[in-house]
């Protein structure tokens, strides 16, 4: 027996490495219930040009490996970092179709250089399909927040949310989810100190391990 035998996790590496070359496809508006939004976006990068899409992809594949080694069935919402999309609506639908026990979108932020720290984004009730999993998503979010802080040593965001937690009703990936789901914003890629950490593969492994531990804690509680 492994700890996560029989559990299904969907990991959504935010953005995609090919998005910049497909503006028409990516800028198409999709309905996320509380508003219309672009199908997907290009994401941010460090000042030295390490893209958020590449960071998200690397952390996600590392996390998938760890969770699979613990027995989980893991599905990713994209299969490489060279493609385009999928739309945020489809990213949510993949979690729903998989009947995931937990889903997580992996991102890093691009804010003012003086801002730093990580935050977890959880869904709000919007009178939509996510409403029944808002409570479970909040528990998942807190488990991920605690594990991330312990595993990475990064501080809570100095510029968004409270104690590393934020709740939003404008994200398609959350509004359309019928399974417990959160976003991690791992830090600020435009902050020199955090950018240096994110460029380090050993630190990305630390992030992946922390996220896997947070998911496991939620799934086992």
Residues at the interface with Zn ion (CB under 5 A):
14, 43, 107
90 is catalytic: no
Radius of gyration of the chain (CA): 16
70 or 119: CB nearest Zn ion:
119
Q: Least distance in Å: CB of 176 to Zn ion?
A: 17
Q: Which helix (H) or strand (E) holds 210?
A: helix 201-220
Q: Which is the catalytic residue, given 52, 90, 185, 194?
A: 185
Q: Give 63 or 219: the residue with its C-beta nearer to Zn ion.
A: 63
Minimum CB distance to Zn ion smaller for 84 or for 136: 84
State the Cα–Cα distance between residues 14 and 139, nearest whole angstrom.
22
Backbone phi, psi, residue 179, to 5°: -120, 155
Task: Tell me how far, at minimum, the Cβ of 155 lies from Zn ion, in Å.
Answer: 19
DSSP 176: T
Q: Which two tokens stand for residue 32?
A: 């996320």
When CB distances to Zn ion are compared, the closest residue is 107
* Residue where the block lists tokens 């700890």: 3
Give the list of residues 6+ apart from residue 129 with CB closer than 8 angstroms, or none: 33, 175, 176, 177, 178
Q: Which is nearer to Zn ion, 168 or 217 (CB)?
A: 168
Q: Least Å distance between CB 52 and Zn ion?
A: 5
Is residue 186 within 8 A of residue 144, CB to CB? The reply is no
Q: How far is the CB of 109 from Zn ion (least distance, A)?
A: 7
Known catalytic residues are 185
């Amino acid at each position: 027996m492994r700890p996560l035998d029989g559990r299904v996790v969907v990991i959504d590496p935010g953005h995609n490495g090919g998005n910049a070359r497909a503006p028409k496809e990516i800028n198409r508006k999709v309905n996320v219930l509380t508003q219309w939004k672009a199908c997907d976006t290009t994401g941010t990068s460090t000042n030295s040009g390490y893209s958020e899409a590449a960071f998200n992809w690397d952390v996600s594949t590392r996390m998938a490996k760890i969770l699979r080694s613990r027995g989980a069935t893991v599905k990713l919402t994209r299969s490489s970092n060279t493609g385009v999309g999928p739309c945020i609506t489809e990213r949510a639908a993949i979690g729903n179709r998989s009947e995931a026990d937990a889903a997580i979108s992996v991102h890093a932020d691009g804010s003012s250089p003086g801002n730093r720290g990580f935050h977890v984004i959880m869904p709000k009730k919007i009178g939509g399909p996510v409403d029944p999993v808002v409570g479970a998503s909040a528990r998942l979010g807190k488990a991920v927040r605690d594990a991330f802080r312990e595993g990475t040593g990064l501080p809570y965001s100095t510029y968004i949310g409270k104690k590393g937690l934020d709740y939003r009703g404008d994200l398609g990936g959350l509004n359309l989810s019928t399974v417990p789901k959160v976003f991690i914003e791992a830090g600020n890629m435009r902050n020199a100190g955090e950018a240096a950490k994110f460029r380090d593969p050993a630190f990305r492994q630390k992030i992946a391990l922390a996220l896997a531990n947070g998911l496991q804690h939620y799934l086992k509680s």
